[in-house]
Amino acid sequence: IEAYIPNSRLTFNINKLTLNASFPQVNMDKSFQGEIPAELLDDGVSAVILNYMANFIKNRTTGDYSSHNNNFFLNLNGGVNIGPWRLRTNYSYYNSSGSDQRASSDSEFSNTYV
C-alpha cells in the first residue's frame, strides 16, 4: 500500500490478529460521489414543520382497592423555515389525574434554537 499512497502504513500484529492502517488525511479525497457544489445550493422553500406524538393511558382497577388513573402525554416537534433562517423547538405536555393521586400537569419548551 505504501507504493500507492505516500506515507501510509499497514501493520499486522499476529499475536492480537489485528491490522492497523494509517493513511495521511492530505492524501484522502475530500469530495464524495454525487456531491453538489456549494454555489448551486439555495435557501430552499419557506415552510412550517410539525411532528407530534400523543398518548392517552387510562388504568382502571376494580375490587376492594378500586382506582382509576388517566395520563396524557403530548410531544410536539416544530419548525419554521424562512429564507436562510431555521427556527426549531420541542414542546412537551403531561397531565395526570386519578382517584389515588392529586391531579398534576407540566409543560416545557426545550431545544429552541435558530
The mean pLDDT value for 49-62 works out to 93
Which amino acid, 113?
Y
Where residue 27 falls among pLDDT bands split at 50, 70, 90? low
**pLDDT averaged over every residue in the chain:** 87
What would the pLDDT profile of 69-83 be if each residue is shown by its tens digit? 899 999 999 999 999
So what's the pLDDT on residue 28?
67
Higher pLDDT, 104 or 101: 104
pTM for this model (two decimals): 0.56
Local structure of 37: helix, strand or coil: coil
Give yes or no for residue 19 having a pLDDT over 70: yes
Question: Where do the structural domains in the chain lie, given as residue ranges?
Answer: 1-28, 43-113
- 5 to 31, 84, 92, 106: CA distances (angstroms): 18, 41, 53, 59
Three-state SS sequence of 42-80? CCCCCEEEEEEEEEEEEEEECCCCCEEEEEEEEEEEEEE
Give yes or no for residue 46 having a pLDDT over 90: yes
C-alpha cell at 56: 392517552
Q: Kindly report the backbone phi and psi dihedral angles of residue 38, in degrees, each rounded to the nearest multiple of 5, phi listed first.
A: -60, -35
Give yes or no for residue 44 having a pLDDT over 80: yes
Residue whose cell numbers read 382497577: 61
